[in-house]
Amino acid sequence: MNKTIRRASVFALLLVLALLVRATWLQFYDGKALADDNDNRRNAIATYSRPLGNIIVAGNAITGSTRTKGSDLAYKRTYTDGKLYAAVTGYASQAYAPTQLEGVYKDLLNGTDNRLKTVMDTVTGERSEPGDVLTTIDPAVQKAAYRALGDKKGGAVAIDPKTGKILAVASTPSYDPSALTDANTAGQAWKSLNADKDKPLTNRALRQPLPPGSTFKLVVAAAALEDGLYKNVDEPTDSPDPYRLPGTVRDLANENKSAPCENASIRVALRYSCNNVFGHMAVQLGQDKVRAMAEKFGFDDDAQDVPVRAYTSVYPSGMDQAQTALSGIGQFDVTATPLQMAMVSAAIANGGKLVSPHMVSQITDSGGDLLKDFDDSAGTEEIISSTTAEQLQSAMQTVVKDGTGTNALIDGVTVGGKTGTAQHGENNSKTPYAWFTSYGKSDSNGKEVAVAVMVEQSDAARSEVSGNGLAAPVARAMMQAALK
């Protein structure tokens, strides 16, 4: 064999080997990726070849499945009270990737979760019978939140402080997930929902961090008490009124010009929501100490899973002193979700201990056998001392009894709260955000709940926008429902 033929043979052999390597790669590596691709029609056919497992609220399924006609997708998802629970369930669609609990537990709900496999499933290679997701949601609290928000654009969360169970996750305006389940009609519904200027697909309870305004003053107060800057909530503070922002010619004004905010104690400053007190306090502490306290409560945590991943609430860094002062009143670049502010009240209500918030209690197989219990595995962390928590509880009660939060008063319930009205737009040119975070303890049955409400937009006149006017009544309705 001459040299030319030998070289050609070696080259041809190398091409064959390369082809074999590539084919093997495609079959055993890329093949799995292609098989798992959301655009692979076979996956959708397999997923919807039979009914999905269900999401359960208080023992009742709020999801279901129904037969389709004239389609290779034999079943589609259905929802009971879809708009009410959309912020909890999300949607399972024949056309789009699932979201919220439907997305987090898609493998469990469609039967591909390995924990569901029986010996027979392994032998036959068939999909297992799907499992169910049992939530911590209290239907009474969920309905109270959704109805009280009404036509307002906003979000609300309720948490049991002692267990971390999330009792309600409401977002308005909402949408009906059923509109997105059928591949034949989902496209038009998707376009319509995304074109809506009110963004109904946005989960405002978990996934829209906005400036929390004066509700953030609770975090600053906690930092001041824990640091020893002030010994208790009734000690006078070093707080000039007006307070000139350091390095500027701007004074940090108070909404109530006649309020006794000069050198006011923390109790009085929370009662009247004195900006000068908490702006100066943040500068006295320094941004690092305020941030450390904020992070204890959950700010800057980019992996806050409940188990739906909530968007990060942020306490900024790299600020000058003027910006630090503005951060002390929940402005500048501070942002928070209703979930985050509910966590703040929950920790204060629970004696300074924050129990990991979660809205799934258990997951089970098709026969109801337990696969995992999240209530038993919820972690607890001491955020602040019990002494500081008691001091803040007392001050928050003053806010509700005869301060800025009187619309949250409930007969037979000890209520503590904090209002917030956060500036929106350049030079506060747009309608402010209204906030209220609170806790309630029943005087008769011992039940407890922590709540946060954010109203992003309403029909109220700008002069009537306040945490007490718009958000506190929603919180009150939620607490009443939770404490029955």
Residue 263 Rama label (left phi>0; alpha psi -120 to 50; beta): left
As a whole number of angstroms, the distance between CA 354 and CA 162 comes to 8
DSSP string, 183-237: TTTHHHHHHHHHH-TT-TTS-TTTS--B--GGGGHHHHHHHHHHHTSSSSTTSPP
pLDDT category at 31 given cuts 50, 70, 90 is low
**Residue 34: what pLDDT?**
46
C-beta of residue 316 within 8 angstroms of C-beta of residue 279: no
List b or e across 386-399, with b for residues whose CB sees 16 or more CB atoms inside 10 angstroms. eebbebbbebbbbb
Residue-wise pLDDT tens digits, 386-411: 999 999 999 999 999 999 999 999 99
pLDDT value of residue 71: 81
Pick the range with the lowest mean pLDDT from 42-51, 76-85, 113-122, 464-473: 113-122
Q: Is the pLDDT of residue 376 over 90?
A: no
Q: What is the DSSP string of 325-371?
A: HHHTTT-TT-BB-HHHHHHHHHHHHTTTEEEPPBSEEEEE-TT--EE
- How does DSSP classify residue 150? T
**Whether the Cβ atoms of residue 95 and residue 71 lie closer than 8 Å to each other:** no
How close are the terminal C-alpha atoms of the chain, in Å? 95
Quote the CA–CA distance of 118 and 288 in Å, as a whole number: 53
**Would you name the residues annotated as active-site residues?**
214
Can you list the domains of the chain with their CATH numbers? 213-360+379-483 (3.40.710.10)
Instruction: Report whether pLDDT(472) > 50.
Output: yes
Cis, bond preceding 200 (omega within 30 deg of 0): no
Angle between helices 386-402 and 338-349 (to 10 degrees): 110
Res. 421: pLDDT tops 70: yes
Q: What pLDDT was estimated at residue 470?
A: 97
Averaged pLDDT for residues 219-235: 98
Question: What is the CB neighbour count within 10 angstroms for residue 370?
Answer: 10
Confidence of residue 426 (pLDDT cuts 50, 70, 90): low
Give the residue among 193, 171, 173, 189 at the shortest CA–CA distance from 181.
189
Residue 28 pLDDT grade (very low, low, confident, very high; cuts 50, 70, 90): low
Question: Mean pLDDT lowest for which of 124-128, 226-230, 285-289, 402-406?
Answer: 124-128
Please report which confidence band the pLDDT of residue 38 belongs to, taking 50, 70 and 90 as the band edges.
Answer: low
CA 457 to chain centre: 18
Average pLDDT rounded to a whole number, residues 20-27: 68
What is the helix, strand, coil percentage profile of the chain, to 5? 40, 20, 40
What's the one-letter identity of residue 298? G
Q: Which two tokens stand for residue 422?
A: 């956060």
CA–CA separation, 405 vs 396, rounded Å?
9
Question: Which of 431, 334, 336, 350 has the alpha carbon at shortest distance from 384?
Answer: 350
pLDDT at 462: 63
Residue given tokens 């499945």 in the structure block: 65
Distance (Å, whole) CA 464 – CA 70: 54
Which pLDDT score is estimated for 36?
53
Q: Which two tokens stand for residue 313?
A: 């609430």
Identify any residues that bridge with 66 across adjacent strands, giving them in sequence order: 76
> Which of 107, 102, 104, 111 lies closest to 55 in space, CA to CA?
102
| Cis previous bond, 130, omega within 30 | no
Cis omega before residue 209 (within 30°)?
A: no
For 373, other C-beta atoms within 10 Å of its C-beta total 14
